[in-house]
Structures are given as structure tokens and as C-alpha cells.
Amino acid sequence: MPSVDGRLTIITVTHNSSVVIGPMLESLPADVPLVVVDNASKDETLSIVGELRPDARILRNSIGLGYGNGMNVGLQTITTEFVLLTNPDTLLSEDAIHVLIETADTYAEAGLFGPLVLDSSGSIEVSYDVELHRRDEFGKRDSERLPEGPVCDESLSGAEIGALMQCLQEIGFFDPACFLYFEDEDMFMQMRQNQYSLIFEPRAVISHVGGGSIPATAAYHWEKFWHMSWSRLYYEKKYRGLFSAVLLSVIDIPKFALKAMGYCLILKPKKARRDAARCFGMMAYLIGKSASHSTGVREG
């Protein structure tokens, strides 16, 4: 296995992640540098980081910047050859890290490297895919056979991504316009447009425990689906043009509005709120409302 010494930094973005951050930190090799970008957590997240990884570099945002912009804050500080973009609800292993580094050394044309992701029950999550606009062509993939070796594909799992810093710097990191959702799909597209391959490596195995990082409040559900719709239209316009984005919204806004009203009538407020948020997120994009936040950052 190749040496990781001095070649890799791990980075994660936290926001009220106290339920999941401990197991993730305990799964990391102690000798690999760690950067934690915190999006204004109000729980014990940073206390846990300080206890389990006192060597970690902590960057504190005074308000939540979202995933991509949070990552961008940390990525600007990275000086190692490789970086591992890690969700706080994943469990790593030293073996998986070594395999990803070995894969990067083998495929010089690649910029991103993704592991096989298992959920909390040990079942395989979809860890690689075609580009977003082509997925309907393939339908459900439940019976798909797992590749026996590395695969070059168009999309990887956002739970864990290994990357060459040189390639990330070339594309400008994550698109700052996105607050939540599709920022990873945008990065994958940018990598491919810059002639870098994305490699899925099934020998590198991680666990994605999922959930628990943010309380499932009504406000959280509204924010989640609002941004999901906003970012979907942003992605559509960026890569297929304004006409395609408007056409998508003409189809989806009435659909979501009718579904929201229907769920109100049958007293299913959670689903009604979900589809109303989707509707308002799309309308917000069409009238030019920004999704991103910006603020200063302090260290420590």
C-alpha cells in the first residue's frame, strides 16, 4: 500500500452534528491531518471534536454557509496533494484511505475517487452513477452487479470523495451559488468538462450511517426541499440553458402546488410542507432570489 504520510488531509463540514461526529472521528487514522469547518453549530459538536481530535484545525462560520461553501472555506487552507471530503455521518478506515491513494496513483488522468458506500445495515448504497440528466434512462439499479474493479463513471457518492487538490483548484472548488444540494453533481460535471476522470473503487469500503446530524424539524424540512428545488433549476440552467430550466419549472411548479394542496386536504402536513417548499424554491430561483449565504470565518 502507498504511504499516506504528508499526502492527505481529511475535511468535514459540521452543523449540529453531535449525534454522529464522535464515531466518525474515532474511525479516522490519528496521524492524518483533519480540518473541521463548522456551520454555526449550537450543540456539542465542537466540544466532541476538541476531546477526540484536539489536533484538528477548526474553522468556525458565524452562520451556516451550506455544504459546498463550507467545504470551500476549508479547501482554501489545504496544502497536501490529496484531500478527502468526508460527511460527519460516515465511518472511514485506514485501509479504505490507502486504497483510494493507490487508485489515484494508478490513474493519473483522474481527479476524483469514490469508495463503495455501505448504509447502517451493511447494504450497498448507489456509489457511482451516470450524469444527472441521463439517470431516467437506466431506471432502478437494485439488481445491478457490483463491479469487480475500478470503474470510470460520471458521478460518485457525495458521502465520501477523494480528490487531487490540483484538480479542485483548477475548477475553483464548489460553485458558491449553491447552498445545499447538487453542488457535488456540479463539481462532477466541472471535473469532466476539464477532462478529468471520476473513478469508483469498490475495494475502498466506508460506512454511511446517515441521519442524526440535524433535528428533523418543520423548518429543517422546509429548508431542505426549498434548496433542493432551487439548486435543481440552477443546475438545469447552467448546463442546459434558460429555456430548459423554465420548461422544467413549468412542469414541476403546478405539480408540486397541486400535491401540496391535496396533502393539506387529507391532513398530511409534512408532505404538504415538502411539496410547498419545492414549489417556492423553484419560484424563488425564477425571480432571481439567491440561495447562498456569506459571512466571515474565524479559526479555533
Report pLDDT digits (tens) over 265-282: 888 999 999 999 999 999
In this model, does residue 13 exceed pLDDT 60? yes
pLDDT tens, position by position, 222-255: 999 999 999 999 999 999 999 999 999 999 999 9
pLDDT at 1: 58
CA distance linking residue 228 with residue 136, whole number of Å: 18
pLDDT at 252: 96
Query: Domain locations in the chain?
Result: 8-208, 218-286
The mean pLDDT of the chain is 91
Cβ neighbours of residue 12 closer than 8 Å, sequence gap 6 or more = 24, 34, 35, 36, 37, 85, 86, 87, 88
In this model, does residue 112 exceed pLDDT 90? yes
In this model, does residue 298 exceed pLDDT 70? no
For residues 29 and 100, the answer to whether their CB atoms sit within 8 Å is no
Angle at 100 between CA 214 and CA 135, to 5 degrees: 65
| Protein fold of 8-208 | Spore Coat Polysaccharide Biosynthesis Protein SpsA; Chain A (3.90.550)
Arithmetic mean of pLDDT, 146-171 = 93
CA distance linking residue 249 with residue 236, whole number of Å: 10
AA letter at 186:
D
pLDDT at 295: 47
In this model, does residue 149 exceed pLDDT 70? yes
Torsion angles phi and psi, residue 221, rounded to 5 = -65, -40
In this model, does residue 25 exceed pLDDT 80? yes
CA distance linking residue 148 with residue 6, whole number of Å: 30
Arithmetic mean of pLDDT, 156-162 = 91
pLDDT tens, position by position, 71-106: 999 999 999 999 999 999 999 999 999 999 999 999
